[in-house]
Amino acid sequence: MIEEYVSPKPFSALLDIEGWSQLDPILLAALATDAPLLLIGPHGTGKTLLVERLAKAMNNDFRHYNASLLNYDDLVGVPMPDETGQSLRFITTPGAIWNAEFVFFDEISRCRPDLQNKLFPIIHERRVVGIQLENLRFRWAAMNPPSPDDASFDPNVGDLYLGSEPLDPALTDRFPFIVTVPNWGDLTEHDRRQILKQNLLPAYGNGTQATAPGTIQELVTACQQQIQQVKEDFGDWITEYILVAMDVLEKASLRQSPRRARMLAHNIIAIHAARQILGHSDVAIETSAELALLNGLPQIATEVPPPPSKIIAIHRQTHEIVVKLDDEDWRTVLREPDAVQRVIIADDLGFNDEDLSQLITQALSDTKSEARRAGLATAMFLAFQHQRTLTPAAWEALIALAGDVLTPGVKTSSVSGHASDRKTWEAIQKWVIRRRRQKGLARLESNYVLAGYPKRWRQENWQEARQKFITDLRLFGIREVQA
């Protein structure tokens, strides 16, 4: 759980739902805007329980449909000719949708494709067979994570739901909020204890939360009233943020529709209003924007959703660009998603040494491969050692990583106890011997390979790393070095 997102005032906890506090602004924002919301999570995580208690707290006429078993007649009733024989009327049941105020489509990912198509207008337009559902406000749904085509691709993914299919992208795009719910492993120790203690307490609605319904409705009303103020205060910033975010998302292979752009803008406004109402002490608009991305991209409902770390990185890049929108050069650099390419672009644009140093240290920290970090540091050190006066922090980072490549020493390593080390050394030794009379870049390449033995080559393929090192040298214009 990320503490920055946790609400000081209770919302889900008012319903005896534990461990959802970080989602409170999302839930309140969806209720305040009547926006459809899709919950995604494993079985037993409280999705249905939350929705049922919310509907009760809102005092709504509620319908709970199991979409895997649903027939269209269950929604609208049985069509029959009227007395004139000129039109149809529907013979309805108590479970029909006509007078509902809150509908919940559970197991929506197990719904038949033909029925999914008929849910489009209900979720997006509040219409069924072309008739406006005047009373309907809330259209929420839930699903288990869809299984990938190759269910054996990762044995560590947890439960696989073979009957849970990815939603039609057009249907997913009708949900402004797409929320991954917390599982047991995401809960704090306190939340876990509270969940277990609930078995010892009276059930919800039996006196334990006598003020919950009124309180929930009051929070929703307050959030609705706050939304207009947020529009006035942050409308221009949100517009610029979404314009940049759409570009950054597309470069990260997370393309969004124009409809999604509008939804994300509205989501930021509503989430920010909700965070203000829930008493967040430092209600930064950029945090509300981050929450909107984390809980508003349709790709979250796919078989292989983008990890939260990727979405957060996209948000941070977007925010950096928005902060520096007045500087065209910075805009050009920050629109590039690859941190290494940013360094090259910034150098070409003549960035000052301090700003270039910042980009260099960011590029090194963003590079996950230890072998590539060493290679990049070597390439950047050689490229900038005579042309730039970088900050001490940047030089220290470069030297720490490139030192053993640029100034190789003698070291001893026993390979007797490591069969893989011995095999790797035999291959490296043969390769080095063939090149022992070469100088310049060839000698530097040999130094790079030898410096990585044995530790780096236990984790990475030394030949692939060597090829990447050569590519990075060329990327930074290193064609030759002195012997």
CA atoms within 13 A on the CB side of 371: 25
pLDDT tens digits for 319-334? 988 988 889 999 899 8
Residue 97 lies in a domain: yes
Beta bridge pairs of residue 143: 40
pLDDT for 208 beyond 50: no
184, 217, 250 - which closes a domain: 217
**Higher pLDDT residue, 160 or 265?**
265
- 211 pLDDT more than 50: no
Distances (CA, A) of 359 to 314, 322, 326, 363: 16, 17, 19, 6
Whether the pLDDT of residue 1 is over 50: the answer is no
What pLDDT does 132 receive? 93
Q: What is the pLDDT of residue 207?
A: 38
Once rounded to an integer, what is the mean pLDDT over residues 457-471? Answer: 95
Domain count, the chain: 2
Q: Side chain identity at 254, as an amino acid letter?
A: L
pLDDT at 153 over 60: no
Residue 210 confidence class, pLDDT cut points 50, 70, 90: very low
Domain boundary among 163, 183, 217: 217
The secondary structure of residue 93, as a DSSP letter, is -
CA angle 117, 121, 127 (to 5 degrees): 135
State what percent of residues in the chain have pLDDT above 90: 61
| Amino acid code (one letter) for 147 | S
Tokens 């809960």 belong to residue? 187
> How far apart, in whole angstroms, are the C-alpha atoms of residue 462 and residue 454?
10
User: Last residue of some domain: 217, 247, 273?
Assistant: 217
Is residue 289 one of the residues assigned to a domain?
no
Which element (helix H / strand E) includes 370? helix 370-384
Higher pLDDT, 37 or 156: 37
| pLDDT-above-70 percentage for the chain | 88
Q: Which residue has the tokens 């067979």?
A: 129
Indicate whether 255 belongs to any domain. Answer: no
Q: Report the alpha-carbon distance of residue 334 to residue 354 in Å, rounded.
A: 16
**pLDDT per position as a tens digit, 88-132:** 677 777 889 999 999 999 999 998 888 888 899 999 999 988 889
| Mean pLDDT calculated for residue range 180-184 | 93
pLDDT of residue 308: 95
- Whether the per-residue pLDDT at 481 is higher than 70: the answer is no
Domain region containing 436: 369-483
Identify whether 232 is part of a domain.
no
First to last CA, the chain: 53
Tell me, what's the pLDDT at 213?
63
Residue 269 has pLDDT above 80, yes or no: yes
In a domain, 274, yes or no: no
Each residue's pLDDT tens digit, 26-68: 999 999 999 999 999 999 899 999 999 999 999 999 999 999 9
For position 90, what pLDDT does the model report? 72
Instruction: Tell whether 284 is covered by a domain.
Output: no
Domain presence at residue 83: yes
Which CATH number fits the domain that encloses residue 26?
Answer: 3.40.50.300
Average pLDDT, the chain: 88
Distance separating alpha carbons of residues 228 and 235, to the nearest angstrom:
10
Q: Cα–Cα distances in Å, from 474 out to 339, 382, 439?
A: 17, 11, 17
Whether 347 and 356 have beta carbons less than 8 Å apart is answered as yes
What's the pLDDT score for residue 292? 98
What is the pLDDT confidence band of residue 209, given thresholds at 50, 70 and 90? very low
Question: Does 281 map to a domain?
Answer: no
Helix (H) or strand (E) holding 308: helix 308-323
Which segment of 210-214, 228-232, 379-383, 471-475 scores lowest on mean pLDDT?
A: 210-214
pLDDT reported for residue 206: 41
**What's the pLDDT tens digit per position in 396-452?**
999 999 999 998 666 666 655 677 888 999 999 999 888 777 777 888 999 999 999
Contacts 24+ apart (CB under 8 A), 255-260: 256/297, 256/298, 257/173, 259/173, 260/173, 260/296, 260/297, 260/298
